[in-house]
A and B are shown apart, each in its own frame.
Chain A
């Protein structure tokens, strides 16, 4: 019995060992053959055969370079960069963080504006323009604000109460120049891109007719006004989040005076997007404001001066 069990045990041991040996031999043989067949040189030789290794001519459009994995659609207008949806989403996220932390840097505002100005918003604006004769004229003629269309010397020569003169006065008061605004690149439809470009270029005029300065408070006030009138999402986001950055005293002033003014004027006035600024430079500004239904807000710089004077006086006493 002992002998047979020993035989059984040693048989089991022998088959176990043989199995292990066979496994090892098979694995080693497979590895060796594989190393011979799929060596680096063979792999490169296969690639060379398929023509994937060298480019025959540096100028010849290589099959891989001409059909890369990542391809963009054709642009719809010069300067257009068609983005995929995930890229637009990333741009919204990145630029909103950037615009919140660094609102003075233009690239964030530009990117946030273009990526959040989605087609439904711009299409609504386009329809608004198409329903108005002047708006139709603007879309037809597509005026762009350049140094020739806004000749500063001519504007200076206009009488005092005209829109053009008010504009140039505001520019000089704030110390800015009407430099060309950044071209729209990321909006896909060509006409909607023009609508957004028009919005961007008219921004300074909105400042001029309301008299708001370029300091952050003034910009926020203009943004709220713009949002209530025109409805671009970026201005709405600015109106919501930008006040968290400024001093409490400024915020209080904004909320108590300028926000109510912006809501009232923005909602009750006629659409600003349908104003053909270049053609009404000689019109009287007070008539224009009345016609449009825009009230002028209190002068922000004057308010600030008053406030600082009060503070100084208070400190002097205390």
Chain B
């Protein structure tokens, strides 16, 4: 510590010592314990780039989604420049779910983490337009009641709200799903939800449990961009612009920082395909379809 100007050094010394103490007890403490085993605690997991206890992650994710619920769609449009609509409609078209003409049993759709309901209503719309299917049921499950409330609000204004009780909204934890029986669903969709699960494998196992034999598991999720040059641009965009948009448009920088960090932490395409196979699904070659160079990816599994 060189003596330059007396008061300034004093202020700096006090300021920086105090600052150092605060700093050590603050962020960096979490960073040094990035590897759970070195700390002796086996029950930690990642929350974006931070390390948190497993039992805390659910609440932290819940807080994130409660705070983004009201501006969710606006932010999705702003962040993906509207491309998320293309992804979702391609997902629905490819899934091509609907009771075929000549069939005698209506299908049961389950949309997990479907809070605001865009996939759910899109599936019903597709089934009705393409197959004239007006009897398949839809259950929208989400662990976060605020997101689900947004979905219910939207539902009230759609044509599916015709008193026929086709659409149900349930607050459910995707890893447990206690209100959904085994072998009771034909289509299980989860769009941009599974990366928030505390235990992704448990979520996949539960998906296997609730699907009927012949049922399809379809997951649309952010994934890794394979091309390094594009990945560079993608990362620069997502780490600098997305939190800035969250800060200015939604007044919530932390939630969108969590979003981009959780995207990085999600398993890559092949690894996630392995996890789906581990849950018991049959994964047809190649098992995943990259959208927009790998920014998003559709994973499919079939329960045999």
Given contacts A55-B267, A55-B271, A94-B244, contact A191 B15 (CB under 8 A): yes
B232 lies within 8 A of A69 (CB): yes
Question: Shortest CB–CB separation between residue B34 and chain A, in angstroms?
Answer: 6
CB distance A90 to B270 under 8 Å?
Answer: no
A54 is contacted by which of B8, B10, B265, B270 (Cβ under 8 Å)?
B270
Q: Are A90 and B244 in contact (CB under 8 A)?
A: yes
Which A127-168 residues have C-beta < 8 A from chain B? 130, 136, 139-140, 142
CB pair B247–A75 under 8 Å, yes or no, is no
Whether A70 lies near B14 (C-beta < 8 A) is: no
Residues of B208-244 whose CB lies within 8 A of A: 231-232, 235-236, 238-241, 244
Q: Does B26 contact A (CB under 8 A)?
A: yes
Complexed CA–CA distance, A90 and B243 (Å): 12
- With A54-B274, A111-B248 known as contacts, the answer to whether A59 contacts B240 (CB < 8 A) is no
B44 within 8 A of A: yes
Which residues of chain B have C-beta atoms less than 8 A from A111's C-beta? Answer: 247-248
Q: How far is the CA of A107 from the CA of B71 in the complex (A)?
A: 15
Q: Does A59 contact B37, Cβ atoms closer than 8 Å?
A: yes
Q: Which residues from A are CB-within-8-Å of B12? A: 191
Q: B241 to A59, Cβ gap below 8 A? A: no
Min Cβ gap B158→A in Å is: 30
Q: Are A107 and B34 closer than 8 Å at their CB atoms?
A: no
Residue of A nearest to B36 (CB): A59
Expressed in whole angstroms, the Cα–Cα distance for A77 and B23 within the complex equals 6
The residues of A that contact B240 with a CB separation of less than 8 Å are: 70, 84, 86-87, 90
Flag whether A172 is at the interface (Cβ < 8 A).
Answer: no
Q: Is the CB of A78 within 8 A of B253?
A: no
Please tell me if A6 contacts chain B, counting CB pairs below 8 Å: no
User: When the two chains form the complex, which single residue of A40, A54, A78, A105 contacts B286, counting CB atoms closer than 8 Å?
Assistant: A40
A26-63 vs B, Cβ < 8 Å mask (1 yes, 0 no): 00000000000000100010000000011100111100
Contact B248 A108 (CB under 8 A): yes
Which of B11, B19, B34, B264 lies in contact with A140, CB distance below 8 A?
A: B11
Tell me what chain B mostly uses at the interface: helix, strand, loop, or mixed.
Answer: helix
A95-B271 in contact (CB<8A)? no
Residues of chain A within 8 A (CB-CB) of B253 are 81
Instruction: For the complex, give the distance between the alpha carbons of A194 and B15 in Å.
Output: 10
State whether B15 touches A105 (Cβ < 8 A): no
Given A54-B270, A77-B19, also A140-B235 (CB < 8 A):
no
Are the CB atoms of B236 and A69 closer together than 8 Å? yes
Nearest chain B CB to A52's CB is how many angstroms away?
A: 9
Closest CB-CB distance, B298 to chain A, in whole Å? 17
A65 at the interface (CB under 8 A from B): yes
Measured CB to CB, the closest approach of chain A to B279, in angstroms, equals 16
CB distance from A288 to the nearest CB of B (A): 25
B27, CB-defined interface residue at 8 Å: yes
Interface residues of B in 102-155 (CB under 8 A from A): none
A86 vs B240: C-alpha distance in the bound complex, in angstroms? 9
Contact with A along B9-29 (1 / 0, CB 8 A): 011101110110011001110
Tell whether B55 is near chain A: CB-to-CB under 8 Å: no
Complex Cα–Cα for A40 and B10 (A): 63
- B195 at interface, CB cutoff 8 A: no
Provide the B32-48 mask, 1 if CB < 8 A to any CB of A, else 0: 00111100000011100
Asked if A287 is an interface residue, CB under 8 A from chain B, the answer is no
Q: B268 an interface residue at 8 Å Cβ cutoff? A: yes
Q: Any chain A CB within 8 A of the CB of B284?
A: no
Contacts of B8 in A (CB 8 A): 130
Cα–Cα, bound, A40→B248 (Å)? 42
Known interface pairs A53-B271, A54-B274, A78-B23. Does A87 touch B244 (Cβ–Cβ under 8 Å)? Answer: yes
- Inter-subunit contact B264/A77 (CB<8 Å): no
A54 to B251, CA, bound (A): 36
A70 touches B239 (CB 8 A): yes
List the B side residues contacting A91 at CB < 8 Å.
244, 247-248
Verify if A231 is at the interface (C-beta below 8 Å from B). Answer: no
CA separation between A40 and B226, bound complex, in Å? 12
Alpha-carbon distance A190/B14, docked complex (angstroms): 12
Are B264 and A65 touching (Cβ within 8 A)?
A: yes
Also in contact, A60 and B35, with CB within 8 A (given A108-B248, A130-B7):
yes
Contact partners of A248 in chain B: CB under 8 A: none
Residues of B within 8 A of A61 (CB): 34-35
20 A-B pairs whose Cβ atoms sit less than 8 Å apart in the complex: A44-B270, A54-B268, A55-B267, A55-B268, A55-B271, A58-B267, A59-B35, A59-B44, A61-B34, A65-B265, A69-B232, A69-B235, A77-B23, A87-B244, A94-B244, A130-B7, A130-B11, A136-B11, A139-B15, A142-B18
Contacts A78-B22, A98-B248 known; 6 new A-B pairs at CB < 8 A? A65-B264, A77-B22, A90-B241, A139-B15, A142-B15, A190-B15
Interface, chain B (partner A; CB < 8 A): 7-8, 10-12, 14-16, 18-19, 22-23, 26-28, 34-37, 44-46, 231-232, 235-236, 238-241, 244, 247-248, 251, 253, 264-265, 267-268, 270-271, 274, 286
Give 3 closest A-B pairs by Cβ, nearest first. Answer: A78-B26, A107-B251, A70-B239
